[in-house]
A and B are shown apart, each in its own frame.
Chain A
Amino acid sequence: MLSTGLDELDKLLKGGYPDKSAILVVGPPGIGKEALGYWFIQNGLNREDFCLYVTRLAVSEVLQDIRAFGINGQSTPVWFARDGGQTKVDLNDLPGLSFSVKETLRRNGERPIRVVTDVLSSLLMLNSPEVIYRYVSQLLSDVKQYNAVFLATIEDGMHQPQVLAAMQQLFDGVVELRLYEEGVKALPLLRIRKMRGMPPEPEYYNFSFSHRKMEIKAYVR
């Protein structure tokens, strides 16, 4: 198991994300999906794991977000980014992106690896879903040859429900963050839709982010 970097989420997942797994975090923009990636990477950096962050944004934009969560960001991962990273991300060059990721992992395969990416939604908007299903499926099987955990975020509200459902099938674990309406309140709820090695978890949990941590409580109606 690899720690998520968040104690309460580790407890919920009975230790963290499974080894050699691919995790998908689904949620609307702004709810905090990326924060799960930031903490996961930060935890990896503290343990001297090899950490790769593949983003469609510029490094400066991601670092700004990271600091807003109280993560110091002093030690940084290897960046594949639109701007400011070790490798430039071109979302129109799928084979190039995949090749760069595989080459980087091959060169650092002796250490535990953590990969976080936010490019899935953009790829789905620029290509047909079938192309991306095949692409992601191939990429995940390549990544799993290493001692790696791959965490991807995907936007809710930008894709057809069937596209999201099909994408979830490709991953070993799906963490869902959503806003629900209850009376005149909006509740941020978390659900582990599936996780390899865990029985199905139908329960919802209230979550909130405070400085440097995520609080999770069982949701009781």
Chain B
Amino acid sequence: MFDSVSIVFFILWVLVVGLFSYAAYWAFIIRKVLVTGLYRKQALWAGIMGLYLVSLSTFLTIALSLNLNTLPVNILGGLLISSGFIVLFAWIDSTVRVARRSDPLLRDTLRWSRLRYFIGLVTLFGAISAVLTSINSGFALVAPFGGALFFGAIALLISARRSGDTTLRRHLKWMGLAIAMLWLASQLSGVLFRIFPAGSLASEAITYSLVAVGGFCLYRSARSLVPLGHLSLPDVSPT
């Protein structure tokens, strides 16, 4: 019923979804034990990012492998892709605010406390236009992330540099790698499409491998939200 290529795709998809889900799980577990609102919010958005990527990768796998291009699929695809703008912005915003808190001089990078409203608004417009583009031209033509988020990413990098928090920097490093891998996978899939025949095992294996690496980076970033210690047996009280 299924050929070997479909089975390989399915295994890779399960791996990718598993990694994104596990990343989201850790972010939510950490959020549960944190008590300060600012840090809980950052963990919440890191978790939502994981869940978002689970739904996006599921949708793309189904829609692209079955070559679905109807209006309802395009609306759903547009909504999914555009909600990524919002999720990414919310994660950047919460992380910039955490970074400000850990900056010893509490600097308001790029006047983020005001700029966030403008970038939030532009991101919202970007999301709406992504839905409209998807309805008119198909979800495959929607750019993955809004340009306004570029400024958010700059604010984030400057804030992280100013912050003395090594934990935050580790979280950012892994999250940055995850986003870079996912972006690379989305760009590479177009190039591979021209090199290999459509639906070939080689192109899908390369794309999925990059996404899987991105999933692993997201998992590491979720676990880097706070330093997690390990208990050694002599430390703990006897049972």
Q: A residues near B, CB below 8 A?
A: 28-32, 34-35, 56-57, 64-65, 68-69, 82, 91, 121-123, 125-126, 155-158, 178-182, 184-189, 202-204, 208-209, 218-221
Chain A residue nearest in CB terms to B37: A68
Complexed CA–CA distance, A35 and B34 (Å): 12
Assuming the A-B contacts A65-B37, A155-B165, are A82 and B236 also in contact, with contact meaning beta carbons closer than 8 angstroms in the complex? no
Check A28–B226 contact: CB distance below 8 A: yes
Chain B residue nearest in CB terms to A156: B227
Nearest first, the 6 A-B pairs at minimum CB distance are A30-B39, A122-B104, A157-B167, A125-B164, A32-B35, A30-B34
Number of A-B contacts (CB under 8 A): 112
| B173 on interface, CB distance cutoff 8 Å | no
| B1 on interface, CB distance cutoff 8 Å | no
Chain A residue nearest in CB terms to B41: A30
Assuming the A-B contacts A180-B228, A204-B236, are A34 and B104 also in contact, with contact meaning beta carbons closer than 8 angstroms in the complex? no
User: Closest CB of chain B to A137's CB: distance in Å?
Assistant: 20
Chain B 19-34 interface residues, beta-carbon cutoff 8 Å to A: 25-26, 29-30, 32-34
Chain A residues within an 8 Å CB radius of B237 = 203-204, 218-221
Complexed CA–CA distance, A31 and B92 (Å): 21
Complexed CA–CA distance, A199 and B210 (Å): 54
Complexed CA–CA distance, A133 and B104 (Å): 17
| B166 on interface, CB distance cutoff 8 Å | yes
Chain B residues within an 8 Å CB radius of A158 = 102, 164-167
Complexed CA–CA distance, A178 and B227 (Å): 8
Chain B 56-111 interface residues, beta-carbon cutoff 8 Å to A: 98, 101-102, 104-106
Check A219–B106 contact: CB distance below 8 A: no
5 contacts between A and B (CB under 8 A): A121-B104, A184-B25, A186-B29, A186-B228, A220-B238
Check B30–A179 contact: CB distance below 8 A: yes
Chain B residues within an 8 Å CB radius of A180 = 228-231
Per-residue interface assignment for chain B, residues 206 to 224, with 1 indicating a CB less than 8 Å from any chain A CB and 0 otherwise: 0000000000000000000
Chain A residue nearest in CB terms to B164: A125
Assuming the A-B contacts A29-B101, A91-B104, A186-B33, are A220 and B229 also in contact, with contact meaning beta carbons closer than 8 angstroms in the complex? no
Chain B residues within an 8 Å CB radius of A204 = 231, 235-237
Chain A residues within an 8 Å CB radius of B35 = 30-32, 35, 68-69, 209
Chain A residue nearest in CB terms to B101: A29
Assuming the A-B contacts A30-B36, A155-B165, A180-B228, are A91 and B105 also in contact, with contact meaning beta carbons closer than 8 angstroms in the complex? yes
Chain A residue nearest in CB terms to B165: A158
Check A179–B36 contact: CB distance below 8 A: no
